[in-house]
Structure 1
Amino acid sequence: MPIPPPDPFLRLKARGAATNAAGRYEAHERVAENDGWDIPEDERLLRTEVSEERPRSVINPVASPDLPFDRSLNPYRGCEHGCSYCFARPSHAWLGLSAGLDFETRLVARPDAARVLERELARKSYRPATLAIGTNTDPYQPIESRYRIMRAILSVLSEWNHPVAIVTKGALIERDIDILAPMAERGLVQVGVSVTTLDPRLSRALEPRAPAPARRLTTIARLAGAGIPVRAMVAPVIPVLTDPEMERIMTQAREHGATAASWILLRLPLEVAPLFRDWLARNEPGRAAHVMNRLREMRGGADYDADWGKRMRGEGVAARLLAQRFDLAARRLGLDRPLPGLRTDLFAPPPRSGDQLSLF
């Protein structure tokens, strides 16, 4: 899938993608072309747009055999962090939008998510299990500071004593420590913080609107200091670019309070592969071929292999070496233990005004 040339009159500021190729379900492609007229065009700054969605359901069933949860929730569609490697980019095609610039600039918020969630929890047929949030797009991306959807969701989960596992890069999660810390005391929450690299320059290019690496380490420290179990996610591991940092990332995370760690190999499904190759050509031209060749060694010669059991770790000698390095470092640092399991036995409807109180 070729990447169309960027619009020469579109000014991009801190964006991971440079183009806006049509989604895979679209019948037509739009490409910016010079019309030959010697008339100056106005340069346009690409800004973030947010629309709102009113969902009928927010709990998504998950049947993937290589994931440790069976349900998830997404407060937002698209992600302003703009990570060039984000495996969730192809999900924007379901909206008729591009996995490129649209994914990071045309966002969808779900302001009623907490209310809908509470309605689903109240169903007599509902059975509690850990709810995963942040597995597709980041719940603490910048627009959360305005919409506060995640905070409302956490308030509902806390009231119902429902377990939740959160994945984020966003430092904004610190705002919600007042809800998360009491939930942690009841065994209801754990957090995974993704640290891709410790190099601020590389992070700025890879993840243009996400917090800097040092800021994420501070977030780990503040969550851990509040008694919230934190897992350091070395993800994604990008051959050549970030894999040499694996042990240093784990060491820094441990020193900041993380008690567990995990890793995931770079995933390039569908539209993500050409977008990431384009990013490499623009930002790392001298290492682009080396990165992709190493990655293909771990993906059976392709840019990506979506098979269960392979998509997270890859295969072959290079992939096994990465796994061995991670395992050795995790044991040495004491990060090879899972986070404490989350409780489901406390789940119950919150008391309401006028309810009959128990005598015991």
Structure 2
Amino acid sequence: MEQQETTVAMSYTRRCLLVIVLLLIACVVNADELGASLHLEGRMACQRGVARLITWQDAEGSWQQDPGLTAHAALALTAAAGEFLDAQAARQRALAFVQERLLRAATPLSPSASENEQQVAVGAVAMALRLFLREGALVPPESVGRLRDIVAAGKVPAADAMIVLDALLLMQQTNAGNAVLVGAKAGSESVHLSNQLLANIIANGDDAVPAGVRLAARMATGDVTVGAAARRRLEGVSGDGNGALLAELYWLARVLYAQGSSGDDTAAWRTQLMTVLLEMQRGDGGWGRVGDSPAARIVDSAWALQALAVLLAAAPQGGEWHR
């Protein structure tokens, strides 16, 4: 019995050492931009965050039995832990759950649903469509059609507008959402809806849409002049923010990544963002404030992991709207 326990302990120790070695090797890729030590800390923070997020997943593959929340968590696992087997299994369970829920007949996006039900559901559906596109899964044309109808009617809540815009742009890029439209009409409709959402996002003040999110909307639709504003916004960011800040940090990271800065400039914003994210990580590996609900902590952790994934990605070349 004692010999067996010793063997198990040695096996665990070897696995831990292997993980550390692999992380050190991975750090070399971005050492010039981020610094090998901070890059290693980021990778280890990612591992802790992924492990915590998976522990919050239930037996059915969902997080809190919520399809939008489940899609968000699965997107974080896709971005931050694509190579880990545990994360792959968790993503597949989540994908099956979201697909089943979205295909139910009594969807809140049905024409008979109330306006409030449609507004509550639109962000969840957009998050689910982003997950399907990232995972290469079938995109339900009915959901795409209803999402576009709600955007066209101007009923997208300000808090969800950037998520919906990102989903539309991703569908446009992959030509996936055009199953409900044909030819030139599909392209012109997508452009029109994207511009409509952009105007909605920019028109809102910081209380409804944080400055970093508005900058991301401009960057995503072709405005390459927002980099300086994004860096100024980052100067006022610290590690004592709330959940809204974590979402904003993710969009700021994408803006600055897409700018393709190099040398000291890249090192500065990557280091600052990484430091803030590490400061905000809780002792259990997740993110969120003390006393937050489980759902709020899942949302915070998903945003933080996606932001970390951007920071740990290969050096930006410019012009790439990182997904």
TM-score (ref. length: structure 2):
0.33
Q: Relative contact order (C-alpha < 8 Å, sep 6+): which is higher?
A: 2
By percentage of residues, which structure has more helix?
A: 2
Work out which of the two has the higher radius of gyration on C-alpha atoms and give 1 or 2: 1
TM-score (ref. length: structure 1):
0.31
By percentage of residues, which structure has more strand?
A: 1
